[in-house]
């Protein structure tokens, strides 16, 4: 008889989703000079939770540290990353193009299209996460922005 694992509110995944479902995070290893200041000038730019991977403890971890260490960082995507959290999936898209960090104004467009255009996603299946790759990491144009220009 198959036994399906169920997520509980006390599990790291359950606690992570209770805190972050419906929100976005920016995962980074430090920002270029003036980048954070520019992010905070953007509409909604201060609303992203920011997590510095250099500060993740190796001992007792918070649910977000658990998720990053066990499921996000092993995907080896470039940093910074924007992560959109829903109760069905966790979507990831890196914020670099041609080896450089994109301007913070592009984050809006990346989040707008992230469910269809992501570099990776973690599907939530009961108490488990299943990783899937999406866009080639070399591809990172904000298609939603380009489409909004309507052929200009």
Query: pLDDT per residue over 81-137, tens digit each?
Result: 999 999 999 999 999 999 899 999 999 999 999 999 999 999 999 889 999 999 999
Instruction: For tokens 């996460």, name the residue.
Output: 129
Q: How do beta strands 24-28 and 100-101 pair? A: unpaired
Whether residue 42 contacts residue 110, with contact meaning beta carbons closer than 8 Å, is answered with no
Residues in the chain: 152
Structure token digits, residue 38: 């520019």
Query: pLDDT per residue over 58-78, tens digit each?
Result: 778 899 999 999 999 999 999
- pTM for this prediction: 0.88
How many CB atoms are located within 10 Å of the residue 128 CB?
A: 12
Closest by alpha carbon to 24, among 129, 134, 118, 131?
118
Query: pLDDT per residue over 29-53, tens digit each?
Result: 999 889 999 999 888 888 899 999 9
């Amino acid at each position: 008889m198959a036994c399906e694992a169920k997520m509980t509110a006390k599990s790291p995944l359950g606690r992570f989703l209770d805190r972050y479902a419906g929100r976005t995070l920016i995962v980074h290893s430090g920002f270029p000079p003036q980048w954070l200041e520019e992010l905070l000038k953007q509409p909604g730019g201060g609303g992203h939770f920011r997590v510095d991977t250099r500060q993740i403890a190796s001992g007792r971890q918070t649910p977000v540290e658990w998720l990053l260490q066990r499921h996000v960082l092993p995907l080896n995507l470039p940093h910074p990353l924007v992560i959109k959290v829903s109760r069905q999936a966790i979507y990831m898209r890196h914020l670099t193009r041609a080896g450089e960090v994109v301007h913070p104004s592009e984050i809006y467009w990346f989040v707008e299209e992230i469910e269809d255009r992501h570099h990776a996603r973690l599907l939530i299946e009961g108490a488990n996460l299943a990783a899937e790759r999406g866009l080639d990491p070399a591809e990172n144009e904000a298609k939603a922005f380009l489409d909004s220009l309507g052929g200009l």
